[in-house]
Chains A and B, each alone.
Chain A
């Protein structure tokens, strides 16, 4: 073969290879079943990518046709099975019986920061009525609420977004407890204006310090520590933590609504976390100024608000809402989950938080696992931390936002017990999980949740819907580990607080916000502490 012919053949091969690559075929795999080499396509769709946090491997199940299927109807989607390596010895098994801990894959964070704007002059402080119930605080940790709100902090006093110090990245354990098969739900990617925090490079994988050993650990590297908010105390300024109050002790009574307004008006000794089902929160509701006015005032009272029932075709509802909230100079931000639901009618969860006092780990935001498809709308979870000095001393915690299907409450509540334990086990360096939302159930219907050792709930003995007939909303956590709970909680009665008729209150929502207060700094963990009296298991 002459050199010219050889050169032409090589050129032909190179062109064929380039064409194969451009058309999605891998030229490296060649079948030699016959004399003429053929290119074979590698089907990457059958090999899902490995999740980032949990080392799992997927194996495609047999096709749906292989499953006994005698009924007509649409073919079921192919399932995937998940296998796990043995659990590491370093992770201590939880003392609960047979609660599976399914695999977890966090969804991409959608973190929104409002565009920079000059805050308008501070509005006159609104006059609020306190909640209808008396205010015997079981743990007197809060100073009396101010009669009038202090003026808002100047913008320059609030920590800049660019000063954000992300939570230390999580170092995934080498293995995880064997869960049942789990197919992570799809997560909607948003093109929301991403703030600086989300665009910061992830820090080096340094686990959060164990509270008892915090003095021996170095702060997260790469970024300088964030200066604390003027509103938040430093480690030295905080008095010793009182014993944790049982969340659902009979003596616990709801407190009045916390102080409201820009960050300067909030308590300095606690952060307040609220759950609020804003019924059908969509384009119709956001277009009603009187409704938005009430909703913004509600949000400004709290450090974090977990919202259920965002129902909107557009992605602009929550950004619009945030603009209204921040119109007084506040600096709230939000994270939002995907649209969820079994029918075309879908809902989203969102967390709205005061970024001057709270930070979120963008990589932690995701939709919780839903093994067995037991949850109509699997919860949205995210990990937050109170801004403090040093940053790692701030109270950090998972929030799990949920809204059960009212027709399958029993099964869903039991599934949420599994989600709670999953979240507890997700990070060995994070023992605080607060499951919150519209459970469509009161404590008597908590089922498997009540079997979780140490579990407690904030709201008890009062109604939480606007019609004052049902106890549907709550905050649930492990009272043995979430010792930051102050024992203060409440239901913000929309009618009483804003002086509205029942009709006007129902225009805002058919649920009242419920809230609980937590100390801003990590407290000593009480591992294995006895259950407080009055706590129902």
Chain B
């Protein structure tokens, strides 16, 4: 599903990620990890694949997500829903893609605030604070939460919250 002339068939690989065959899912994730920014249309299934039971699928999905850049704007509502996933890796990557979207993901502020306040996973809370900073002034509603997070004991969360507050301004 990869060719020099046309690049990967991302749509087909996205469907393949939902296969019941782990080998098929792993192969799809691996090909998407080689697609770079061309894999952006597969952002949502790749984030969902971070919760796959197969290690290979998860690792290649993460590799693909690291390189695909910001997601399509049309995928933001679905990514917002994935933030609430009970799987921390799924939530982490949904948040990361929302952060990469910048102010385009302003509608995600509420769910990100909830993450900073109540996620049981520290890496998710930290990433949510980071994403609010990337959204910038449109995340003004997060100021109170970020100020409280900045006063917490976790050094990284505090630093990211302070950076987000500076980016939000006001």
Contacts and interface: CB of A to CB of B under 8 A. Distances in A.
Contacts of B120: 73-74
B61 to A, nearest CB: 9
A68 B59 contact: no
A68 B96 contact: no
Contact of A73 (B30, B117, B130): B117
A293 interface: no
Contacts of A309: 63
A35 to B, nearest CB: 42
A72 B92 contact: no
Interface string A336-377: 000000111100000000000000000000000000111000
Given A345-B58, A510-B34, A73 B89 contact: no
Interface in A429-467: 467
A279 B50 CA distance: 17
A86 to B, nearest CB: 26
Contacts of A408: 130
Contacts of A313: 55
Interface stretch (B74-82, B104-112, B150-158): B150-158
A68 B125 CA distance: 17
B122 interface: yes
A251 interface: no
Contacts of A67: 152-153
Contacts of B119: 73
A359 to B, nearest CB: 33
Interface string A286-311: 00000000000000000000000101
Contact of B4 (A279, A282, A502): A502
A71 B152 CA distance: 8
A162 interface: no
A71 B153 contact: no
Nearest to B124: A343
A408 B123 CA distance: 14
Given A279-B33, A407-B100, A342 B123 contact: yes
A345 B59 contact: yes
Interface string A52-72: 000000000000100111111
Contacts of B72: none
A313 B56 CA distance: 10
B165 interface: no
Interface residues of A, number: 36
Interface in B37-94: 50, 55-56, 58-60, 62-63, 66-67, 88-89, 92
A374 B156 CA distance: 7
Contact of A279 (B63, B100, B153): B63
A282 B156 contact: no
A23 interface: no
Main secondary structure of the interface of B (DSSP, over half): helix
A313 B57 CA distance: 13
Contact of B154 (A72, A76, A467, A507): A76
Contacts of A282: 56, 59
Contacts of B50: 345
A503 B153 contact: no
B140 interface: no
Contacts of A327: none
B88 A467 contact: no
A344 B93 CA distance: 12
B155 A284 contact: no
Instruction: Give the contact-size bracket for chain B.
Output: 35 or more
A504 to B, nearest CB: 10
A510 B36 contact: yes
Contacts of B2: 503, 506
B137 interface: no
A26 interface: no
Contacts of A71: 116-118, 145, 148-149, 152
A80 to B, nearest CB: 12
B20 interface: no
A76 B152 contact: yes
B152 A503 contact: no
A313 B4 CA distance: 32
Contacts of A283: 56
Contact of A284 (B26, B122, B130): B26
B136 interface: no
A503 B3 contact: yes
Contacts of B33: 279-280, 510
B125 A73 contact: yes
A140 interface: no
B16 interface: no
A68 B122 contact: no
Given A70-B148, A407-B100, A506-B34, A280 B63 contact: yes
Contacts of B96: 407
A502 B58 CA distance: 24
Given A71-B149, A373-B156, A510-B36, A503 B89 contact: no
Given A71-B117, A76-B153, A406-B67, A503 B4 contact: yes
A16 B88 CA distance: 49
B149 to A, nearest CB: 6
A467 B3 contact: no
Contacts of A503: 2-4, 34
A70 B50 CA distance: 31
B154 A280 contact: no
A73 B145 CA distance: 13
Closest 3 CB pairs of A and B: A67-B153, A373-B156, A506-B34
19 contacts: A68-B152, A71-B118, A71-B152, A73-B117, A73-B120, A74-B122, A76-B152, A76-B153, A79-B155, A280-B33, A280-B60, A343-B62, A344-B89, A345-B50, A345-B62, A345-B89, A407-B96, A502-B4, A510-B34
Given A344-B89, A345-B59, 10 more contacts: A71-B152, A73-B122, A79-B155, A283-B56, A284-B26, A372-B155, A373-B156, A501-B4, A503-B4, A510-B34
